[in-house]
Structures are given as C-alpha cells and as structure tokens.
A and B are shown apart, each in its own frame.
Chain A
C-alpha cells in the first residue's frame, strides 16, 4: 500500500474536519479525492504529509507512520499545497534549484522526470515566480514537488483557478507521471476531472460517501437520468420542482438532469405536464449519469 488511512478523525476546536476516514491507495495509482470546498480534503492532505496529527486513527505513507516516522515521509513525498506556495521573489530557476538543493539533489539528476513540464516554462526561467500566469505557476509548483523524485505525490487542488486548457494539460502530465511509477493523490472540486482518476473517493462534510472507480460509481446510480431542455431554464426548473413525481432535478449546462420516482416513467407524461405549464421547445432524452449526478445522489 502506498497510502493507507484507517479510521482517521480530526477536529479543529469544535468543528469536525474529517470523521472516521479509511481508504487505501495502491502503488502507482492515481487516486482522486472529490468533494466541494470545506469537505475536509486539505485536512486529509495535511495529515498524510505529516503537517497535522490526527485525533484518532492511524495512517501510513510509503510504509511509514505519519506520526512516528514523519521524518522519513518528509524525505519521500512531494507536496503541492492548495495555495501557491513558492517564493514569489525568486525566479523560476532559483525556485527549482532551491527545492532541488534542500532535498539533496540537483535539477540535472532528475531532469528526465520534469522535462515534459519544465520545457514549457523554461523560456521564462529568469522571470520571478510571482509574475507568472496561473497555469505557469502550477507547472512550476509541480516541477518543484517532483524534483526530488518522490515516491508519493500529493496535489491539493492543483487545478483550482487554472484555465481549461492548462487544466487539461495538467492532467495529461499527471497521467505521464503515473506511468513513471509515482503514486499520486490528487484532490479537486471539479467533477469532470474525477473521471480521469483510477479510483476516486467522494467526500463531503468530512465523511467519505463512496470509494470506487469512476465507472463503477456512475454505474451504481440507481435511476435513469433524463436530459430535459426547454425555452426557459428558470421556469423549467420551477415547473419540475413542483411536479409530483419528481425525484431530483439539477441544472447541468444547457439542460436539466431529471430523475423520476416511478419505475414506469413515460416521457410523454412529463412533456404534456411541462407544456401545460407554458413551456415550449421541450426536449426530453434519457442520458448517461455522470459523477456529478452520482455525487448529488450520494450527498442527498
């Protein structure tokens, strides 16, 4: 096991940040913690990176206990906190050199590991880190976290505040790193990124809702999802919410994801109901549930 948590709980004063969390991450796995802000993701990261001591439970990283062997863990892992945490007044190259030095290595020694990423920011290597764009900063932070060839990589919301193109690139980089044998624990509030992980843990209010592969989580979804569209989104949601057979309704892009209480649901029934409510251009189609639907269902 690369990472293993059993019955971890942690409270800040009166607030329970995480409660009774257990999960394992296999070596070489890309494991995602998916949940909204305040779900307890960062607390889990800090416990695993030995920055916090859990109130209850035990956890190991790369075979070391997070409390007893914290020094060994600090040597073996790479950590990228949620907030950009590099030295803004140092240049790109100076930052990288600094982190290489404090881990007792050099840029040259592990250059192959970061090459793909570093070539993209190399043209700016003399620029101060504070003057980089959001996506560049994330790439630099990733380089710094990787420069000592860690066994386990912790990335706390690495793509928050990053543009869609850079996000996509970032995940491609993670996939390549995974192929090099690095275990990666990543957290994100974006459900679409969850599908890119090997396995995910859905987490809310400090508790784990489910742990499985993204596919399995979606397939467990108990209902049929319908994509409903109409000329007026706001009126559509209002109408659906007052529909007596409603099970759930969530806006989803230009459509609404609708599920019905009945097993014998007829599209025509709903259509005529909506028409009676004065809506036009109504479209109702069965659709594939996604992780967001699953999360909403589990979080109910």
Chain B
C-alpha cells in the first residue's frame, strides 16, 4: 500500500509541475461552458429586424408595437421602398424584414384577409426558421386577442407546451454535452498520455523492473485523474446552476454517482488507448480522432440520433458518451431516478468492465 501511495504522490507531482496542462485542464471546462452558454446558441434574443409598412394604419402599428416590445426582436430600421429590402439585408445587421401590404386594416375588415410578408435571411437556416416561428406566434397571439368574444364556428386551437426546458434554452442542451466531452477528454486523453509518456521517456523500463504490479501502475495513474475529473464535473454543474440557472431536477447524489461511473469508463478507455500506442503523440491522435469526433458527432450531443441514417444510429450505440448524455439529461432536466436510467447505467458498467478486461489482457509486463 505504501508503494501505491508513493506512486500516486509521484503522479500528482507530474500533474502539478506541468503548469500549462494544469491550466488547460481547469480552464477548458470553464471556457467551454461559458462559450456554449453565451455565444454558441440557437436561441432568438434581440434579433434586429426591419419593417416595410405600406399601410401605416392602426392595425399595423399595433402589430409592430407588439413585436418590438417582445424581448426577441428589435426594430432596427424602417424601410420605405421594396427596392431597399435588399440593401438592408446586405448591410448584414438585420435578420428579417416584415412587409405589410397596402391597406392592411381595410383588407382585414372588409375581406377578413390581410397579408404580411416575412422575409428572413436564411444564410443561417436554423435562425431563419426560429425567427419565422417566433413572428408567426406573435401574429397568432395578436389574432386571438382580436377575435376575443367573436364566435368562430370551427376552430382548432393547438395548445403546445414544452416540457423539461420550457424556455427552450440551448444551454440546457449543451451542459450535458460539454460535461461529457470534458470528462472524456480529461479522463481518457490525460491518462493515455501519461502512461505513454513513461514509455517514451524510458521510465517504463525501470517501472517494469520493479516490484510494482501492473494494476498498481494503472490504478496509480488513474486515481489522480479521477480527482481532477470530479472537480471538473462539479465546476461544470455549479456553473450551469448558478450562471445559467439550469435546474437540476433529479438527485444531485445520483448525478454524482453516474458522473463517477462515466469518468471510470473514460479512464478505462484511456488506459486501453495507452496500451496500444507507443508515443504520446499517437495516444493524443487516437484520443482526438477516436474519441472526440464520435463523442461530438454521434453521441446525440449536437445532432439528434433519431434523425441519423440507420448505420450511424447503430454505431452510436457503442459510444459510451451517448448513454451518459441520456442519463444526465434525464437526471438534470427530467428529474428521473435510477428506475429510468438503470439500463443505460448497466450498459456503461458493462463497457467499463470490457475496457478494463481488455487493457489488463493487453498490458505489457515486458517491453515487447
């Protein structure tokens, strides 16, 4: 046991003396969460739009009022002629133009029919889509207010309710994803690099010719990174709770346990990588190409798995991150307990056992 503690102590020296890596290790999660939370988002907030009002009557005015008082849009420009629409877009500031037809009020009253044209800048299709939806919703809302008290014979009123993330905040979606990526990166990449570093520097040669058992070396490498990863996970959760007001509906304790499980899965994967790569560079490449990309693309973090082609859907099943994202989304957003995530948890446990088994089998007790 003393030997083991001595080994862990040495590992901590390595980590704390490598200031640059340490900075990246702790700076990265914070930077990523803040980036995803504030900058990279598909939410609509204070979008600049322009208005081309051919009627300038009471109805159009109240619609424009309603739109500009919502927190989603700011009227940035009033356009006088159709020809100026193009120029307005080209300036790049506005994302949409509202075009009211001539005699809007009169048409509405006389013919019960008036048109607004919504022109959106679709260079970013997602935003364009959202803008149209938001404006439509505001118009519908206005119509309902107007029609109050009037009996319409047939009417279907869809009542939508967004559950678990009623305000559709994208940070809620990113936090589980970012947490997964960070844990994967810290755990898998750092361990694989730290084991291959011993090989590269030749120190593995002396470690092998010592009474240290292979599992002591491996566990000794892993323990410090469990600590660091747990700290990182906690920082991410705290940031999302306090800065982004993200609710954790389920049990924090369960969240912690599942996180530790996923950390161990990633560490096992890191060890596996280190047993097959000879140099730090190779380990880094495998971690980046073999882990980061699938985690980002195939885990359901950014692209929904259900809309992927079937072969990719099948591949996504072997990616641990997919299961972890399901688990933490469930716990954080839906507030579910073990009863709902036991299947995913079992899958992660199974993967961990598989990775560890394989690495122990592949661990070289000699140089070849």
Q: Point out residues on A near B: beta carbons under 8 Å.
A: 46, 49-53, 70-71, 74-75, 77, 79, 81, 83-90, 94, 97-99, 101-104, 144
Contacts and interface: CB of A to CB of B under 8 A. Distances in A.
B367 A98 contact: no
B211 A85 contact: no
Nearest to A75: B211
A74 B211 contact: yes
Contacts of A77: 209
20 contacts: A49-B209, A50-B366, A51-B205, A51-B367, A52-B367, A71-B211, A74-B208, A74-B211, A75-B211, A87-B13, A88-B201, A89-B14, A89-B18, A90-B13, A98-B7, A101-B2, A102-B3, A102-B7, A102-B207, A104-B2
A97 B6 contact: yes
B206 interface: yes
B206 A79 contact: yes
B202 interface: yes
B365 interface: yes
Interface of B: 2-3, 5-7, 9-10, 13-14, 17-18, 201-203, 205-212, 365-368
Contacts of A46: 367
A88 B18 CA distance: 12
B241 to A, nearest CB: 37
B210 A98 contact: no
B6 A98 contact: yes
Given A89-B17, A94-B13, A102 B212 contact: yes
B211 A52 contact: no
Contacts of B206: 79, 81, 85-86, 99, 144
A91 to B, nearest CB: 9
B366 A81 contact: no
A90 B206 CA distance: 15
Contacts of A97: 6
B13 A50 contact: no
Given A70-B365, A90-B13, A50 B212 contact: no
A79 B209 CA distance: 7
B363 to A, nearest CB: 14
A214 to B, nearest CB: 28
A195 B203 CA distance: 31
A85 B10 contact: no
Contact of B14 (A50, A81, A87): A87
A136 B368 CA distance: 31
Contacts of B210: 74, 99, 102-103
Given A51-B208, A52-B367, A74-B211, A98 B10 contact: yes
Given A79-B206, A90-B13, 11 more contacts: A51-B209, A52-B367, A70-B365, A74-B211, A75-B211, A85-B202, A85-B205, A86-B203, A89-B18, A99-B206, A103-B211
Nearest to A156: B205
B17 to A, nearest CB: 5
A70 B202 CA distance: 19
Contacts of A86: 203, 206
A53 B2 CA distance: 30
A88 B203 CA distance: 10
Q: Which of A75, A87, A90 has the most CB of B within 10 A?
A: A87
A94 B6 CA distance: 10
A131 B110 CA distance: 91
A50 B6 contact: no
B304 to A, nearest CB: 45
A49 B5 CA distance: 25
A57 B64 CA distance: 93
Nearest to A106: B2
B245 to A, nearest CB: 42
Nearest to A72: B211
A102 B211 contact: yes
A273 to B, nearest CB: 53
Contacts of A79: 205-206, 209
Contacts of A81: 202, 205-206
A101 B6 contact: yes
A81 B206 CA distance: 8
B211 A53 contact: no
B368 A52 contact: yes
A50 B7 CA distance: 22
Contacts of B17: 89-90
Nearest to B17: A89
Given A87-B10, A104-B211, A53 B368 contact: yes
Contact of B3 (A50, A94, A104): A104
Contacts of A89: 13-14, 17-18
Contacts of A87: 10, 13-14, 201, 203
Nearest to B13: A90
Contacts of B365: 70
Contacts of A102: 3, 6-7, 207, 210-212
A130 to B, nearest CB: 10
Contacts of B209: 49-51, 74, 77, 79
A26 to B, nearest CB: 22
A17 to B, nearest CB: 12
Nearest to A89: B17
B34 to A, nearest CB: 31
Nearest to B366: A51
B205 A52 contact: no
Nearest to A85: B202
A182 to B, nearest CB: 16
A266 to B, nearest CB: 55
Nearest to B211: A75
Contact of B10 (A83, A88, A90, A104): A90
B201 A53 contact: no
Contacts of B212: 102
Nearest to B204: A85
B198 to A, nearest CB: 9
A98 B5 CA distance: 10
Nearest to B14: A89
